[in-house]
Amino acid sequence: MGQLRFTDTDLPDTADVVVVGGGLVGLFTAFFAADAGLGRVVVLERRDAVASLTSAHSAEGFRLEWDAPENVEMVRESVDVFDRFADLVGLPGFDIGLEKRGYLFVSGSGGPAYRPALLRERVERWRGRGLPDVEYLTGDEARRRFGFVGDAVEHAHFRAGDGFVDAGAVARGLVLGGRFDTFVAAPVAAVEAAGGRVMGVRTTSGRRVATDAVVLAGGPFTRDLAAAAGAPLPAENRRRHGLILHLPPGLVDRSWPMVVDADLGLYWRPRPEGIFIGWEKALAWDQVPGAAMDPVPADLAYLEQVRVHGRRLTRFWHDLRFDDAVWHTGQYVAAAPNDGRPIIGPHPALRGLYVNTAYEGRGIMASPAGGRLLTRLLRGEADVATSPFRVFERDRGNDPDRMVL
Ligand SMILES: Cc1cc2nc3c(=O)[nH]c(=O)nc-3n(C[C@H](O)[C@H](O)[C@H](O)COP(=O)(O)OP(=O)(O)OC[C@H]3O[C@@H](n4cnc5c(N)ncnc54)[C@H](O)[C@@H]3O)c2cc1C
């Protein structure tokens, strides 16, 4: 079993694989790499806890409703990992808070919309593509099934097998059960290279780990780390906000699903404390790429936006109180141009440098399969040239995924 260290003083001189970044993407990568027998695998995390930057602030939802078949399959494979997580990490009974309460998308006419939702058409498309268990519902059917659905809803779709996990618990399980070593408070200053190939990494305290394989899984910082190693990465960061409102019992039922206003891109889900609300088109800045940030500052104007616009399609919104809110701020990393696929694979500019990032709003639900794919690439078992997730310079030729909010 691996070790967790709170300093980099005991860093080994050499490792077979060094993973930079202990978010969920880095941890799953390390877990599968170690499990596949790739030798000594080490995770270096800059902060003083794993999964504490973006991975700590997500809505923790998973859904199969994506447009690109490879994105659907990536989450399907990942949910399978969540389903048997305790066995996989060898910790019988280990609880990752897996709850399959479903995802409900709702749409109404006459209101603001950032694009036509076309819910019925989506469901038909999925039927023909191996995703037959998304139910189309009229507004009346949705109201009968879900008491919180407002009068303005005209169309909805629901998939019962989607749900939530506890990202912190998943991270703890990987660290506890994985056969890799994790060093927190161990910021990587640079990837060292010579003769066109990776030689190792250097931490900010000047310690070095020699290795042939470095995986950059630094979330919003991945692009800067890659650029400093002479390997430009076509990725962009955009600021995102979420809120947990603490509510009196009885207002939001724990059994309700994740709900997405498909016209606006606003979403919410029940939480033990009340409700998590997120919206990716709330304010002008959320579409503007920016530098990596830690911490990510909160914009109070966001709270007013969700307070007003969440009312559209729900019955209970006017009873919500917004005076006891916990901010969940982060950044989405997306491929640029954004084709709705993560970037997973070897970087062509530097031998031994691998990248695992750009999951946008999907890095919890797709990180298991993404980590496994990177491990297959490290082992030379997957075809890089044809992978829709490969590192690219200008364009990968993928059609955009229309289900990216
Ligand atoms: C509001 C919000 C809601 C979301 N909702 C969902 C959702 O419902 N479902 C879903 O699947 N996804 C969701 N996401 C997206 C998800 O959170 C991310 O895709 C995911 O957390 C990315 O994981 P990561 O490991 O790539 O990045 P991170 O969690 O950011 O991890 C990267 C790590 O690298 C470390 N690092 C950076 N630089 C260095 C360095 N130089 N040395 C060492 N370590 C370094 C960082 O400290 C960090 O811990 C949401 C995100 C937000 C912000």
**20 Cβ closer than 6 Å to some ligand 1 atom:** yes
Ligand 1 within 6 A of CB of 371? no
For residue 225 the two structure tokens come to 């780390």
Looking at ligand 1, which residue's alpha carbon is closest to its atom 53?
330
Task: Determine whether the shortest distance from the Cβ of 61 to ligand 1 is under 6 A.
Answer: yes
pTM, two decimal places: 0.98
Residue 57, ligand 1, Cβ within 6 A: yes
Closest approach atom of ligand 1 to CA 187: 42
Q: Can you give the pLDDT at residue 405?
A: 64
- pLDDT by residue for the chain (405 residues), tens only, comes to 789 999 899 999 999 999 999 999 999 999 999 999 999 999 999 999 999 999 999 999 999 999 999 999 999 999 999 999 999 999 999 999 999 999 999 999 777 777 788 999 999 999 988 899 999 999 999 999 999 999 999 999 999 999 999 999 999 999 999 999 999 999 999 999 999 999 999 999 999 999 999 999 999 999 999 999 999 999 999 999 999 999 999 999 999 999 999 999 999 999 999 999 999 989 999 999 999 999 999 999 999 999 999 999 999 999 999 999 999 999 999 999 999 999 999 999 999 999 999 999 999 999 999 999 999 999 999 999 999 999 999 899 999 998 886
Q: How much distance in Å is there from the Cα of 311 to the middle of ligand 1?
A: 29
Q: How far apart are the first and last CA of the chain?
A: 39
Do 35 and 376 contact (CB within 8 A), yes or no?
no
Ligand 1 center–CA 280 separation, angstroms: 16
pLDDT for position 23: 98
Q: Is residue 45 within 6 Å of ligand 1 at its C-beta?
A: yes
Q: Is 215 in the pocket of ligand 1 (CB under 6 A)?
A: no
The residue to mutate among 11, 28, 54, having the most atoms of ligand 1 within 8 angstroms of its beta carbon, is: 54
**CATH says 103-160+238-331 is which class?**
alpha beta
Q: Whose CA is nearest to atom 21 of ligand 1?
A: 55
Mention every residue, 6+ apart, whose C-beta is less than 8 A from residue 182. Answer: 2, 3, 4, 5, 22, 27, 30, 42, 43, 45, 50, 175
Residue 401 Cβ < 6 Å to ligand 1: no
CA 248 – CA 227 distance, rounded (Å): 48
Question: Does ligand 1 have an atom closer than 6 angstroms to the CB of 223?
Answer: no
CA of 346 to the centre of ligand 1 (A): 20
- Protein residue with least CA distance to atom 41, ligand 1: 188
| Ligand 1 centroid from CA 249, angstroms | 30
Closest C-alpha residue for ligand 1 atom 52: 58
pLDDT tens for each residue of 3-28: 999 989 999 999 999 999 999 999 99
Distance 343 CA to ligand 1 centre (A): 14
Q: Which pLDDT belongs to residue 115?
A: 77
Q: How far is the CA of 234 from the centre of ligand 1 (A)?
A: 17
Closest atom of ligand 1 to CA, residue 24:
25
Angstrom distance (rounded) from CA 289 to CA 235: 9
Give the position of tokens 């303005």: 152
Please tell me the predicted confidence (pLDDT) of residue 177.
Answer: 97
How far apart (Å, rounded) are the C-alpha atoms in residues 244 and 262?
20
> Which pLDDT score, from 0 to 100, does residue 41 have?
98
Instruction: Work out whether the CA dihedral 133, 151, 270, 401 comes out positive or negative.
Output: positive
**Which amino acid residue places its CA nearest to atom 19 of ligand 1?**
363
Domain positions in the chain: 1-98+163-234+336-405, 103-160+238-331
What pLDDT does 117 receive? 85
Name the closest-CA residue to atom 2, ligand 1. Answer: 58
Residue closest via CA to ligand 1's atom 27 equals 219
Domain topology for 1-98+163-234+336-405: FAD/NAD(P)-binding domain (3.50.50)
What CA–CA distance (Å, rounded) separates 41 from 19?
A: 8
CA of 23 to the centre of ligand 1 (A): 6
